[in-house]
Amino acid sequence: MPRDAHRQLKKTATGPRFPFGSDFQDILSLIGDAVVSTDDNGLIIMFNLAAEGVFGYSSAEVLGQSIDILIPAQFQDQHRTDYARFVTARVGMRRAMAPGREVQGRHKDGTEFAVEVSLSRQFVGGQQIGTAVIRDVSTRIGEEKQRLLVANEVAHRLRNSMAVINAIVTLTARDSSSVDEFQNALLGRFAAISRTHESLIHRAWVEADLRELLESELAPYFTKNRQIALQGPDIAVDKEVAVALALVFHELATNASKYGSLSIEAGRLVVHWQVVVSKRRLLEVIWQETGGPAVVLPKRRGFGSELISSNLIGHGGKATINYLPAGLKCTLTLPLA
């Protein structure tokens, strides 16, 4: 475009939208992507209807302005360098802008957003015209980042789950005297993990409700005559701690159903929990059995007892088991966020 035509454009910025024929303007208005053209000084000479929607400016506001108005300040120098390299050749050409690097646009209100840009360069009337076809991809980029985040989280959970499963299989086999015993113990422990996962799914895999964990593990033992009491406030525990607690509760319930208060109808179980505040917030859970068969101190330390004692250590907690005459008592403590 001749210099005098460009000057005339700046004088009549509130007039025609483009310094081209009306038919050409009509065609540009039908294009779904933003189209922005600049002269060889980097001043905007064309700004279609889609560009108005993408950037929030009317064409009257930007015609004759520097292209910098559409570029975040921190990228303007890089843009000038890239564009200067692009216009070195004296022939028309087209290519994607900054391939392999995320490109940002700037909205009229100052917000920045991800865009894809395809550049072309032509010579018109002896003047170099640069045209950019621009697409707002911020929604797609956000969705891709979210999918990547979810994929990474799933991979992390899978690695953790496999580590837990491998440990459970190995140690259950070590303490089982028969295939049936191994199968029953293994399936019970896996079921405890599965129930916890279901609880986590209901809470978007962020946390689980402590009472729900206990109720799911003790559900088979609630009968008309047996007395089971769950006492404590509503407390949510994070996903990693939830799996650890579920396994501990499963082992305590299994042990109680075989040898303790859950093995007879007259038995009683009270599980009480509270938050204790000292230097930090601690969850304290007390599992107290009474009314069961006479308590006998185990002759050897099996995997169940080992799991109860050690499963919380990795989360900064501990478990203390006391074989009292009245019944087994287990105290769990865990730090809370």
Q: What is the pLDDT of residues 314-336, one digit of tens each?
A: 788 888 989 999 999 999 999 98
Confidence grade of residue 207 (pLDDT, cut at 50, 70, 90): confident
- Quick one: which of 234, 223, 310 has its CA closest to 269? 223
Confidence grade of residue 221 (pLDDT, cut at 50, 70, 90): confident
User: What was the pLDDT predicted at 110?
Assistant: 92
User: What was the pLDDT predicted at 233?
Assistant: 93
* C-alpha pair distances (Å), 37 with each of 24, 86, 132, 162: 14, 15, 6, 56
Alpha-helical regions (H) of the chain: 3-11, 22-29, 49-55, 59-62, 73-86, 138-175, 179-202, 210-218, 239-258, 303-310
Q: Which residue has the higher pLDDT, 284 or 16?
A: 284
Q: What is the pLDDT of residues 259-295, one digit of tens each?
A: 889 888 888 999 999 999 878 889 999 999 999 998 8
- Tell me which DSSP letter residue 98 carries: S
Q: Is 1 exposed, middle or buried (0-12, 13-18, 19+ CB in 10 A)?
A: buried
Confidence grade of residue 1 (pLDDT, cut at 50, 70, 90): very low
Please state which of the ranges 12-26, 198-212, 224-238, 269-283 shows the lowest mean pLDDT: 12-26
User: Does 134 have pLDDT greater than 80?
Assistant: yes
Q: How far apart are CA 242 and CA 72, in angstroms?
A: 45
Q: Which residue has the higher pLDDT, 179 or 152?
A: 179
Q: What proportion of the chain, given as a percentage, has pLDDT over 90?
A: 17
| Biggest distance spanned by C-alpha atoms of the chain | 105
Mean pLDDT (whole number) for 105-128: 84
Number of residues that make up the chain: 337
Confidence grade of residue 3 (pLDDT, cut at 50, 70, 90): very low
DSSP code per residue over 214-282: HHHHHGGG--SSSEEEEE----EEEHHHHHHHHHHHHHHHHHHHHTSGGGSTT-EEEEEEEEEESSSEE
User: What was the pLDDT predicted at 189?
Assistant: 67
Confidence grade of residue 248 (pLDDT, cut at 50, 70, 90): confident
Query: Structure pTM?
Result: 0.48
Q: Which two tokens stand for residue 275?
A: 């938050």
Q: Is 148 exposed, middle or buried (0-12, 13-18, 19+ CB in 10 A)?
A: exposed
User: Does 168 have pLDDT greater than 80?
Assistant: no
- Which residue is it, tokens 């990795």? 314
Name, of 66-80, 217-231, 274-288, the range with top average pLDDT.
Answer: 274-288
Please state which of the ranges 5-14, 87-96, 166-175, 279-288 shows the lowest mean pLDDT: 5-14
User: Does 107 have pLDDT greater than 90?
Assistant: yes
User: Does 25 have pLDDT greater than 60?
Assistant: no
DSSP helix/strand/coil, 25 = helix
Amino acid (one-letter) located at 58: S
Confidence grade of residue 159 (pLDDT, cut at 50, 70, 90): low
User: What was the pLDDT predicted at 230?
Assistant: 93
How high is the mean pLDDT of the chain? 76
* C-alpha pair distances (Å), 5 with each of 2, 17, 121, 266: 5, 14, 19, 99
Q: How far apart are the first and last CA of the chain?
A: 65
Q: Which residue has the higher pLDDT, 254 or 232?
A: 232
Amino acid (one-letter) located at 269: L
* C-alpha pair distances (Å), 23 with each of 14, 26, 27, 88: 19, 5, 6, 32
User: What was the pLDDT predicted at 10?
Assistant: 40
Name, of 1-15, 143-157, 282-296, the range with top average pLDDT.
Answer: 282-296
User: Does 216 have pLDDT greater than 80?
Assistant: yes
